Amino acid sequence: MHDLSGVLNYIDAERDNALQRLFDLLRIESISTDPAYNAQCTAAADWLVDDLNSIGFNATRRDTDGHPMVVAHTPGGTGPHLLFYGHYDVQPVDPLELWHSDPFAPALEDTALGKVIRGRGAADDKGQLMTFIEACRAFKVVSGELPANITILLEGEEESGSPSLVPFLKANADELRCDLALVCDTGMWNDKTPAICTMLRGMLGEEITITAADKDLHSGMFGGPAQNPIRVLTKLLAGLHDDSGRVTLPGFYDDVPPLPEQIAQQWQSLEFDASEFLGAVDLSVVAGEQNHTALEQIWSRPTCEFNGITGGYTGDGFKTVLPSKANCKISFRLVGQQDPVKIRQSFRQYIESNLPEDCSVEFADHGASPATVMSIDNPAFERAREELGREWETEAVYTGCGGSIPVVGYFHELLGMESLMIGFGLDDDQIHSPNEKYNLSSFVKGTRSWARVLASL
Amino acid sequence: MHDLSGVLNYIDAERDNALQRLFDLLRIESISTDPAYNAQCTAAADWLVDDLNSIGFNATRRDTDGHPMVVAHTPGGTGPHLLFYGHYDVQPVDPLELWHSDPFAPALEDTALGKVIRGRGAADDKGQLMTFIEACRAFKVVSGELPANITILLEGEEESGSPSLVPFLKANADELRCDLALVCDTGMWNDKTPAICTMLRGMLGEEITITAADKDLHSGMFGGPAQNPIRVLTKLLAGLHDDSGRVTLPGFYDDVPPLPEQIAQQWQSLEFDASEFLGAVDLSVVAGEQNHTALEQIWSRPTCEFNGITGGYTGDGFKTVLPSKANCKISFRLVGQQDPVKIRQSFRQYIESNLPEDCSVEFADHGASPATVMSIDNPAFERAREELGREWETEAVYTGCGGSIPVVGYFHELLGMESLMIGFGLDDDQIHSPNEKYNLSSFVKGTRSWARVLASL
């Protein structure tokens, strides 16, 4: 057996050194989307390779067409084979004038809500990935070995669309395929309650362009007998939801499972404050599907949303044009077993079969990914949940996520792995914004949490 | 009595001189919308003042905050008092490369369809206004006097929104108020059939902006429980028409008169080819209000059209934004006695009362003018129609116009005058486009038509 209490004590004693290591990593300006920072991205990868090698991993920098991957293996590891995923790249820092300190001069700050690590990447994702590496370091020092066979994959393009990820996973599938993935890019429910995210909504992106006349017309000359594509488009879009907020496409809800009782009860107990959630953006009433709470809607219900619409004259003033074309970008968030391909077909069929004479439609495909729903029957989930509760002294909850974390889908699709999504970020971490921070408690107790979870798996 | 046949003979004999005068006027680059041509606009006004004085009018240039007006009176005129209106300014000429000749070097050209006068302003409106002045000239030369008491008002801002027109009409109402206005800015039904336009649709311009959240949201995070203003907007817009194409606003059709029997019969006899009309813009089916022909819809039925719509992300690619705002520009074409003020109220009430919770709406007012429907009971209309038929050897028709000619509304509203709208333009005159032309037959027979009409009034 591993000396878990020895490991936890070491983590506490090593705290300041661990912080210095994180600060070293945070000082590297690894902004992946801006080619001006290419060398810094490579430097961050090299720093991680060196650090992982220093604690006994067999780590290498693996170059791609974009920024490099870091891959590390435990030599001769035993126990379950786990793949840890994180990313070392960060978001740009503009607008720089809104930062209260240099985004790449990390520091510990006292705030009204406790000590925080301030700097770009503190929470997303350098701070989070270092919680895992520091837990591994503690095991190596205290026990001489890790409690599992661990592979680490660190990406440098997460904030810029991950163009190299799928090719890399495909090319290295045998090397990277494990029993379970650990993904540290999510958050806690609140600063006291740890969480495991088990549901990510999928997404289907569609764009339609309706064309009527072959040129813009004058509404005085043609207004009436000529089809107006804005009018056609608005009528088609208005038909996509019924009065109860449900999507009207035939079969849309066929593969939407009811919420498992255990999950429903947990979510109920979270006492999610919809008024506060909506109040933050100046809304007050839960819209959307009737008879579903806000939390249910965001985490477990599918949606059809219009993300952009344009047609005709949209500048200042007024023009009485009857436009030739009108366009809308539409996204469907998907849950359960909803099949993006079937839903795309159903959507296109709805549009085509309701299109009036003299109108044509063009569709553009903006991607499709199914929802990811982890099977919490896997005992690793309950074990991890218990250990998180032990560390934070508050029972950990299974949560959903309204958005998607593409890598989790790729692990499932390409490597046949489920992902245990554990993270210690908080809603007020200001990731992607000025003054990003990571609570010191997230960092320290996050590290201790990983130690407990690793020991339990 | 006037020697009408002498006048008509003089017009024929004087043709080449009349053309040279028109060419002189066409050579003046009086583009009103571009300040670089201010001096040329004044030069055109001065040219007209001189020409009118040379044939015995008492003509003056009347400066305004914009381009000058030209006002001319017949000294001691007798008979009915008529106000002739035309405009001496022209549209810009770009794209210049599409012109086959210099737009300001007018010339007579032989074409497959006969001789045409080519140049900017040939039809709109210098050629048309000169038909009236040449008719007056012929009367002065042949009879020594005009057959009516004539006031002429020529504007230099018609192509740039007429900012000075209303103030000028108000300030000079007593001087300009006549028994009837003659407006020469319309067209023939076709190159054989003269027309008097008796109906102009009015217009109401509205713009609505729906706001939900106070910032753009992420559709993964908020999709579902947060109101989407594009969805709200499309639903509101889709409710403005029923399945038969009628506008659903309460009371919208209350003040829409049935088409008078005489007019309905005449329009029937025009054998308007809707397929050809729509085919020219790649449409084939008469849309809009059921049970109304295309011609009825354009000339005598009200519409509600969406002229521009925008909201959310409309650039290339895709963003899963839930926008804060969505906007639409909406125009209503009005007929009969429809009251723009009542319809604006009814529209705004519809929007406000159907707006879901958490959404607000802002309205912008883009102008309102009622329809203009001439009373053809005024005997001048039938007399003019008979004279036009005599000149063109084809019975003249009463037509409508789907657009609006604001000056006709101002004459009605500010001076209490009806307008007899007679013009000799044709659909293929390319006004506002490169290679504008005016048929030589429009110019000569137009001048002869005015002589006949003036003698008959």
Q: Convert the pLDDT of each residue in A127-165 to its tens digit.
A: 999 999 999 999 999 999 999 999 999 999 998 889 999
Q: Is residue A390 part of a domain?
A: yes
CATH number, position A27 = 3.40.630.10
Which pLDDT value is given to residue A368? 87
d(CA A250, CA A385): 38
Q: Name the DSSP class of B247.
A: B
Shortest CA gap A203–chain B (Å):
9
d(CA A440, CA B202): 68
Report the percent of chain A where pLDDT is more than 90: 83
Which pLDDT value is given to residue A94? 85
Cβ–Cβ under 8 Å, residues A40 and A31: yes
DSSP B377-404: TSHHHHHHHHHHHHHHTS--EEEEESS-
Q: Which residues of chain A does B358 touch, with a Cβ-Cβ cutoff of 8 Å?
A: 278, 283-285, 287
Of B201, B220, B287, the CB nearest to A225: B287
CB contact (8 A) between residue B287 and residue A207: no
Q: Which residues of chain A does B226 touch, with a Cβ-Cβ cutoff of 8 Å?
A: 278, 281, 283, 287-288
Do B65 and B139 lie in a common domain?
yes
Which pLDDT value is given to residue B1? 56
SS (H, E, C) chain A: CCCHHHHHHHHHHCHHHHHHHHHHHHCCCCECCCHHHHHHHHHHHHHHHHHHHHCCCEEEEECCCCCCEEEEECCCCCCCEEEEEEECCECCCCCHHHCCCCCCCCEEEEECCEEEEECCCCCCCHHHHHHHHHHHHHHHHHHCCCCCEEEEEEECCHHHCCCCHHHHHHHCHHHHCCCEEEECCCECCCCCCCEEEEEECEEEEEEEEEECCCCCEEHHHHECCECCHHHHHHHHHHCCECCCCCECCCCCCCCCCCCCHHHHHHHHHCCCCHHHHHHCCCCCCCCCCCCCCHHHHHHHCCEEEEEEEEEECCCCCCCCEECCEEEEEEEEEECCCCCHHHHHHHHHHHHHHHCCCCCEEEEEEEEEECCEECCCCCHHHHHHHHHHHHHHCCCCEEEEECCCCHHHHHHHHHHCCCEEEECCECHHHCCCCCCCEEEHHHHHHHHHHHHHHHHHC
Q: Is residue A288 part of a domain?
A: no
pLDDT range class, residue A377, cuts 50, 70, 90: confident
CB contact (8 A) between residue B403 and residue A333: no
Query: What tens digit of pLDDT does each residue of A230-271 get?
Result: 999 999 999 999 999 999 999 999 999 998 888 888 898 888
Cβ–Cβ under 8 Å, residues A369 and B187: no
Return the SS3 of B47: helix
d(CA A424, CA A450): 11
Shortest CA gap B282–chain A (Å):
5
Interface predicted TM-score (ipTM) over 0.90:
no
Shortest CA gap B272–chain A (Å):
13
Of B241, B274, B318, the CB nearest to A329: B318
Q: Is residue A17 part of a domain?
A: yes
Q: What is the chain A residue with the closest CA to B303? A: A224
Q: Is residue A271 part of a domain?
A: no
C-alpha closest to that of A297 among A280, A285, A306, A308: A285
Of A228, A277, A308, the CB nearest to B306: A228
CA B223 vs. chain centroid, Å, equals 47
**Total domains present in chain B:** 2
- Name the domain boundary from A332, A352, A369: A369
The two tokens of residue B196 are 């008097």
Residue B281 phi, psi dihedral angles, 5° rounding: -120, 25
- Name the domain boundary from A369, A399, A421: A369
Report the percent of chain A where pLDDT is more than 70: 100
Of B205, B224, B231, the CB nearest to A318: B205
Q: Is residue A177 part of a domain?
A: yes
User: Amino acid identity of B448?
Assistant: R
CB contact (8 A) between residue A224 and residue B282: no
Shortest CA gap B62–chain A (Å):
30
Do A414 and A451 lie in a common domain?
yes
CB contact (8 A) between residue B226 and residue A283: yes
Do A353 and A378 lie in a common domain?
no
pLDDT tens series, chain B, 457 aa: 578 999 999 999 999 999 999 999 999 999 999 999 999 999 999 999 999 999 999 999 999 999 999 999 998 777 889 999 999 999 999 889 989 999 999 999 999 989 999 999 999 999 999 999 999 999 999 999 999 999 999 999 998 889 999 999 999 999 999 999 999 989 999 999 999 999 999 999 999 999 999 988 888 889 899 999 999 999 999 999 999 999 999 999 999 999 888 888 889 888 899 999 999 899 999 999 999 999 999 999 999 999 999 999 999 888 888 999 999 999 999 999 999 999 999 999 999 999 999 999 999 999 888 898 888 889 999 999 999 999 999 999 999 988 878 899 899 999 999 999 999 999 889 888 899 999 999 999 999 999 999 999 8
Phi-psi region of B330 (alpha: psi -120 to 50; beta: other; left: phi over 0): beta
Q: For residue A419, what are the β-bridge partners?
A: A181
Of A241, A309, A320, the CB nearest to B311: A309
Torsion of Cα atoms, A441 then A443 then A449 then A450, to 10°: 180
The answer for residues whose C-beta is within 8 angstroms of residue B111's C-beta and 6 or more apart is none
d(CA A16, CA B115): 94
Q: Name the DSSP class of B312.
A: E
Of A298, A308, A310, the CB nearest to B224: A298
Query: What tens digit of pLDDT does each residue of A3-40 get?
Result: 899 999 999 999 999 999 999 999 999 999 999 999 99
d(CA A64, CA A67): 6
User: B209: part of which helix (H) or strand (E)?
Assistant: strand B202-211
Do A112 and A186 lie in a common domain?
yes
Which pLDDT value is given to residue A1? 56
Q: Is residue A287 part of a domain?
A: no
d(CA B412, CA B400): 17
Give the residue from B231, B256, B289 with the most A CB atoms within 10 Å of its CB, the best one to mutate. B231
d(CA B4, CA A234): 59
Which pLDDT value is given to residue B79? 80
pLDDT range class, residue A423, cuts 50, 70, 90: very high
Do A351 and A388 lie in a common domain?
no
Domain that holds residue B228: 203-256+302-369
Do A375 and A365 lie in a common domain?
no
Q: Which residues of chain B does A366 touch, with a Cβ-Cβ cutoff of 8 Å?
A: 317-318
CB contact (8 A) between residue B274 and residue A225: yes
CB contact (8 A) between residue A220 and residue B333: yes
Average pLDDT over residues A402-416: 90
d(CA A454, CA A450): 6
Do A210 and A142 lie in a common domain?
no
Residue B158 phi, psi dihedral angles, 5° rounding: -65, -35
C-alpha closest to that of B87 among B172, B156, B24: B156
The two tokens of residue A141 are 């020092």
B217-218 vs B321-322, strand pairing mode: antiparallel
Shortest CA gap A276–chain B (Å):
13
Do A166 and A89 lie in a common domain?
yes
Q: Is residue B336 part of a domain?
A: yes
Do B404 and B422 lie in a common domain?
yes
CATH number, position A338 = 3.30.70.360
Q: Say whether the peptide bond before residue B75 is cis (omega within 30 degrees of 0).
A: no
Q: Is residue B60 part of a domain?
A: yes
Do B213 and B136 lie in a common domain?
no
pTM metric for this prediction: 0.84
C-alpha closest to that of B153 among B212, B89, B83, B221: B83
User: Amino acid identity of B140?
Assistant: K
Residue B392 phi, psi dihedral angles, 5° rounding: -95, -5
Give how far Cα B420 sits from Cα of B170, B223, B366, B374, B415, Å: 21, 58, 28, 8, 14
Shortest CA gap B180–chain A (Å):
26
The two tokens of residue A290 are 């009737």
Do B134 and B97 lie in a common domain?
yes
d(CA B54, CA B48): 10
d(CA B366, CA B329): 9
Do B84 and B222 lie in a common domain?
no
Query: What tens digit of pLDDT does each residue of A62-83 get?
Result: 999 999 999 999 987 778 999 9
- Name the domain boundary from B369, B388, B410: B369
d(CA B440, CA B130): 12
B390, exposed or middle or buried, with CB in 10 Å at 0-12, 13-18, 19+? middle
